[in-house]
Amino acid sequence: MAILEVDKVTKRFGGLEALRDVDLRLESGELVGLIGPNGAGKSTLFDVVSGVTRPTSGKVFFQGEDITGMKPHRIAEKGLARSFQATRLFGNLSVLKNIQLACHIPARTNIAGDVFRLPSVRQRESEAQQKAIDIVKLGGLEVVSDELAKNLPHGYQRALGVAIALAVEPKLLCLDEPVTGMNAEETRFMMGFIEKIRKEGITILLVEHHMKVVMDICDRITVLNFGRKIAEGKPDEIQGNKDVIEAYLGRPEDVT
C-alpha cells in the first residue's frame, strides 16, 4: 500500500500557480527525492502534505486516509513529520528539551493531569526524556544537548531540526533541504544520519538541491518545474533525462 498518495494537487496563490495537477506516490520504506529549480513548488508541496496550507484542488492520502485540509497537529499525530527549509527551532530551549517536546504524541494526557503531575504523567515524561536522549545520540548531538538551540552552529541546528521531526515517531518523514549551507564534512554526517533514520524503517521524502546527495541516497526521484511534474524515475534515469537537463540548464538555442 502506498504510504503517501498525492492526487492531482493544484495550489494557486492569487494568480500564481505554485502547483498544477501534481501526483506523487511513496511506497512504505522508500526514500524518494523531490528536486527542481528554485520556485518549482517543492516547499509548497511540503506545506500541502503537512497541512500548513490547503490545496486549491486535489487530495492527499496518508496510509489510505484522506488528510486534505487537516490541521498540521492532527496530521503529525497520524505519523507524518516534517522539517523546515529555513531553520526552525525552539531557540530559547535546550537541545534536549526541543526534542523532548516532540516526543509526546503517542501518549497525550489532559492538561490538568499534566499540571498536577499524576503518576502516569511522570512515567510518560521519564519515557519521553529517555527517548529524547536516544534521539540526541542518534543525531550526534550529545555534546550540545544542554545548549540553547539558538546558540548552536548551523550544522548542529540543521541536525536538530531533523531530530525534532524524528521525535514525532513518524512513519513518513519529509525533509526540506537538510544539507543547505553545510560544508562537506557536515553534509557527509547528515547523509549518515538520514541513512540511520531509513534503517529504522521510516519512509522519507527528501527535498534537496545538493545533487550528489540526492543521486547517492534516493531510490526514486521526482522532478518539479514551474509547479508541474516533469520527470520521475531512478537516479540514473533522471540524470540523463532531457527535460530535466533543460529545466536546470536551459535549451542549447537559448544560450546562443
Q: Which stretches of the chain bind other proteins, using CB under 8 A?
A: 50-52, 71-73, 75-77, 81-82, 84, 88-93, 96-97, 101-102, 104-105, 108, 111, 114-117, 121, 125, 133, 136-137, 140-148, 151-156, 159, 164-165, 167-168, 185-186, 189-190
Helix segments in 35-177, DSSP class H? 42-50, 72-78, 95-102, 111-115, 119-138, 154-167
The nearest distance, CB 72 to other proteins, in angstroms, is 4
Of 133 and 245, the one with the shorter C-beta distance to other proteins is: 133
Of 208 and 221, the one with the shorter C-beta distance to other proteins is: 208
The nearest distance, CB 251 to other proteins, in angstroms, is 38
Of 6 and 182, the one with the shorter C-beta distance to other proteins is: 182
User: What's the residue count for the chain?
Assistant: 256
Of 62 and 156, the one with the shorter C-beta distance to other proteins is: 156
The nearest distance, CB 20 to other proteins, in angstroms, is 25
d(CA 243, CA 228): 12
Place of cell 547517492: 216
The nearest distance, CB 189 to other proteins, in angstroms, is 5
d(CA 93, CA 149): 6
d(CA 138, CA 218): 21
Place of cell 501526483: 23
Of 146 and 236, the one with the shorter C-beta distance to other proteins is: 146
The nearest distance, CB 62 to other proteins, in angstroms, is 14
| Among candidate residues 32, 38, 29, 36, the one with its CA nearest the CA of residue 6 | 32
Q: Are residues 35 and 221 in contact, defined by beta-carbon separation less than 8 angstroms?
A: yes
